Every structure is written in structure tokens, then in C-alpha cells.
Structure 1
């Protein structure tokens, strides 16, 4: 569902197939994981795995210097960066110098977000990025 959400939000001109992930760079987007271990469900990851992933991601952001960091999944963001009160949307803090936005996870298990409402939130991020670019 992430490909359709990214497309519906206006980040890409068409829905990209998973095999086309590298083309996201052509649109100024990069994707990485907070935790680099595949699981069927997010609750299979420990809080320490998320915190360590947050430290690794911070170092990566410091090295690559993106202007924005979008973290998909509010629980992942809260745990990785120790911000229990975070909500979906822009965050007050920066990570490695990048502005931060927490996005809903497009997992099918995230039933209270539809493709449309997720795309709307992703589009809010896109608008903020465009506005900050001048």
C-alpha cells in the first residue's frame, strides 16, 4: 500500500512497483528502515531494537543530510526517538539536523487509516517540503 499512498499524495507521478523503489531517488525520496529486521508485525520488535534503530538512523541522517526525515509508523517514531507524546504530523524536534514528520503506517493492520486519509497526511508532508524549499 505504500506505493499507492506515495503516488496518491503527489510525491510520484505514477504508482511505482516495489521493484522500482530506486526510482524514488529521482523524486528526491529515499527509504530506509528504523529497524533492519523483517517481521510480520511491528509488535515483534523490541523497544531496544527501535532505540538502536533510532541511533543508527540519526547517524545516517547526519551523514546524508536530508532536509526532512519522515518516519512511517507513530509507534516506531515514539519508541525509536523517545517521544511518547508524539502525534502523526510534523514534530518539534529535529533528527540529525533534519525536520521530522511522523506518518501513518500503510500496513493493512492499520485499519483506522484508509488509503485516502493516509495519502492526505502524506500530501501535507509534501506541501511542507515544497513550502520549505521556496
Structure 2
């Protein structure tokens, strides 16, 4: 773990590249838009205090505890995420203060990278957190949240001969857990994330807060 980042640490984290969390075996791969500065400074995904991601995982019984990564992952928490097969990546790897600092081209490039990640690591299910970013990244302007009927044409073209592998992987679009997404609650996020976890065949723990 690291000390809680200072304002100078956060500023220095701009454009930092954050490593993906890709356990083996990989059950559910959750795809954020891009890391925030707090994640860039600590290396822990969805680390900013007030982000509802980890509370939603606990409320959904996806994790067996409430993980607080504001100072980086505690070793036992990181080991738990790996043990349950929860992976985390982003469409765009560089850290910014806000997702709207990203270009459409970056998101489209991120969609291609996601396809490569899925084909390499073979998750049981994929959940993209953020409907607007998903629509831009995959060129699916009319897409709606929830389980998708299949992968977008752009993704299947990127997969090429491996398209059947992609088609066999459930794809869901779930809400972004950022506090800026004000109409979502921990409970509504938990319900969406639980649906994705069920699609991946993940264990259910007792919900915790």
C-alpha cells in the first residue's frame, strides 16, 4: 500500500499507465473507461474515495468484504480479487482527471485492445462500465445498458478468425460507478454487477457493506 496521494501526487499521475488486473483463471472482466488520477497515483483500480465500484461489489456479494483501495490494494484484498477471478481493465489506459478528456479515437482504439485482451485471457464474461463510452468505442450509437445480444460488428471484425470465441463470451454494459453518475446508487450498481457476475458463473458471497 502507498500513502494517500497528495494534490501534487494526483497532478503527477496525469497520463500514467495503470496495469490491468488479469487473474488466471479469469471469470469476470470489468472494463472501465480509463483510470482516474487517484488510480494513476496508487495503481489500484477505482481507488478514488467516493467511487461506488468496490461498495457495489461488496453489496452484490461478488467480493466477501468491502475493499478500500484509496491507499492502494492491501495484499490480502488483491489476493481475494485474484482468487475469485475478477479482472479489471480500461478502454483507455492513461489516467486523466475526467473521462471527457479522452478523444473518440482513443476509445475506438481501446475497443480493439479490449478484443485482443478477451481473446488472450478468455474471461467467462465481460462487463463494460459506461454506456456512452461503449457506444463511441464500438460504434453502437443505439446500444442500451444490460446484456447485449452479441458483440458489435466492429469487435467481430477485429477478432477475425477468432470471432466465434468472442461470440461465446457474454457481453454486458453496466453503469459507470463514478460519483458523477448521480442517478445510480450502490444498490442499482450492485444489481447490474451481480447480473454480470452471474453470467460469469461467479460465487455468491453474503452481501456486505
Q: Tell me, yes or no, whether TM beats 0.5.
A: yes
- Aligned partner of 1:113 in structure 2 is 184
**For residues 1-134 of structure 1, what are the structure 2 equivalents within 5 Å?**
1-18=52-69, 19=73, 20-21=77-78, 23-94=80-151, 97=166, 98-130=169-201
Between the aligned partners of 2:200 and 2:120, the Cα distance in structure 1 is 20
Question: Per-residue deviation at 1:11?
Answer: 0.8
Give the length in aligned residue pairs: 131
More helix by share: 1
Question: Per-residue deviation at 1:93?
Answer: 1.7
Question: Per-residue deviation at 1:28?
Answer: 1.5
Residues 51/22 of structure 1: CA separation in 2 closer, same or farther (3 Å cut): farther
Question: Per-residue deviation at 1:129?
Answer: 2.9
Question: Per-residue deviation at 1:61?
Answer: 0.7
Structure 1 residue runs of 5 or longer lacking an equivalent are none
Deviations along 1:85-104, one digit per CA (max 9) or x if unpaired, are 11111011235612211110
Between the aligned partners of 2:116 and 2:197, the Cα distance in structure 1 is 24
Task: Normalising by structure 1, report the TM-score.
Answer: 0.88
Structure 2 residue runs of 5 or longer lacking an equivalent are 1-51, 160-165, 203-209
Contact 2:125/2:196 (8 A) holds in 1: no
Give the root-mean-square deviation of aligned CA atoms: 1.7
Between the aligned partners of 2:93 and 2:57, the Cα distance in structure 1 is 21
